[in-house]
Amino acid sequence: MSYDRAITVFSPDGHLFQVEYAMEAVRRGSTAVGIKGKDCVVLAVERRALAKLQEARTIRKIVSVDERSVLAFAGLTADARVLIQKIRVEAQSYRLTMEDSPSIDYLARYLARTQQQYTQRGGVRPFGIASLFCGVSSDDGAPELYQTDPAGTHSRWKAQVIGGRNAKSLREFLEKQYQDGMEETACVRLAIQALLEVVDSGAKTMEVCVVRRGGKKETMEEDAIETIVKEIEAEQEEKRAPAAAASGGDSEYV
């Protein structure tokens, strides 16, 4: 018997197959990395190679949600568009009724609640996206990073990866490299370094955005990303070079 036809049905061993299939859709999406530092949060997203005739500048992977928050997603782009619209309207609605800006926690909870609602209703399928939602709650608030998934869970992270086949190994990489209270330059570097593990080298393959304490958002210019990429690669070359010299020039250390 197939227990994955209607979302409302549990399987005998307690699985919600539609939700798990949605998570598979997330794995097919492009990788997104989020790193929280002392005074900033950095989002770096893989930009997959486009078709030649496609206009690159119309594909924006890191979107503004509210004045002081941004969101990156992994998974089905169309589903993401719908969810992003919902959360944007909710943020403005909150501002209209409460005359105050919504906290990052509130919006992350709203996002997660919406995703969960689509796992417990007849006739609908879950959203095939996981998201990294980050920003600052107020002008003097600390930076926050949240992750949501198709099941509708949300949790706060210091650093997280979503999407792509290598999310697990990237997470381990981050666990080794992450340090509490990093400055912005260190955060940006770590985010790009993590992404370089899965994307082809080059600034054109990634989009990087920083949200700082105080609420200022900045999308990094390609040149700036390129500089950091070259620095990281030069460093890696140096690490490799002595090993090559020692083993006689032919190194399997890639």
Q: Which residues bind another protein (CB under 8 A)?
A: 60, 64-66, 85, 88-89, 92-93, 95-96
In the bound state with another protein, the residue whose beta carbon lies nearer, of 91 and 190, is 91
DSSP-based three-state secondary structure for 201: coil
In the bound state with another protein, the residue whose beta carbon lies nearer, of 67 and 197, is 67
DSSP-based three-state secondary structure for 45: strand
In the bound state with another protein, the residue whose beta carbon lies nearer, of 88 and 158, is 88
Helices 184-196 and 222-247 meet at what angle, rounded to 10? 60
Q: How far is the CB of 95 from another protein (least distance, A)?
A: 6
Q: How, if at all, do strands 154-156 and 62-66 pair?
A: unpaired
Q: How far is the CB of 124 from another protein (least distance, A)?
A: 24
Closest to 145 measured CA to CA, from 80, 216, 225, 71: 71
In the bound state with another protein, the residue whose beta carbon lies nearer, of 93 and 169, is 93
- Contacts (Cβ under 8 Å, ≥6 apart) of 104: 68, 69, 133, 134, 135, 136, 137, 141, 144, 146
What beta strand segments (E) does the chain contain?
32-36, 40-46, 62-66, 69-75, 129-136, 143-148, 154-156, 159-162, 206-212, 217-219
Q: How far is the CB of 177 from another protein (least distance, A)?
A: 33
In the bound state with another protein, the residue whose beta carbon lies nearer, of 78 and 241, is 78
Q: How far is the CB of 63 from another protein (least distance, A)?
A: 8
Helix (H) or strand (E) holding 186: helix 184-196
- Contacts (Cβ under 8 Å, ≥6 apart) of 88: 65, 66
Q: Cα separation of 217 and 202, whole Å?
A: 23
Q: How far is the CB of 60 from another protein (least distance, A)?
A: 7
Cα atoms in the 13 Å half-sphere on the side-chain side of 226: 4
In the bound state with another protein, the residue whose beta carbon lies nearer, of 2 and 58, is 58
Q: How far is the CB of 163 from another protein (least distance, A)?
A: 22
Q: How far is the CB of 25 from another protein (least distance, A)?
A: 24
Largest CA distance in the chain: 70
Q: Estimate to the nearest angstrom the gap between the alpha carbon of 212 and the chain centroid.
A: 17
In the bound state with another protein, the residue whose beta carbon lies nearer, of 125 and 217, is 217
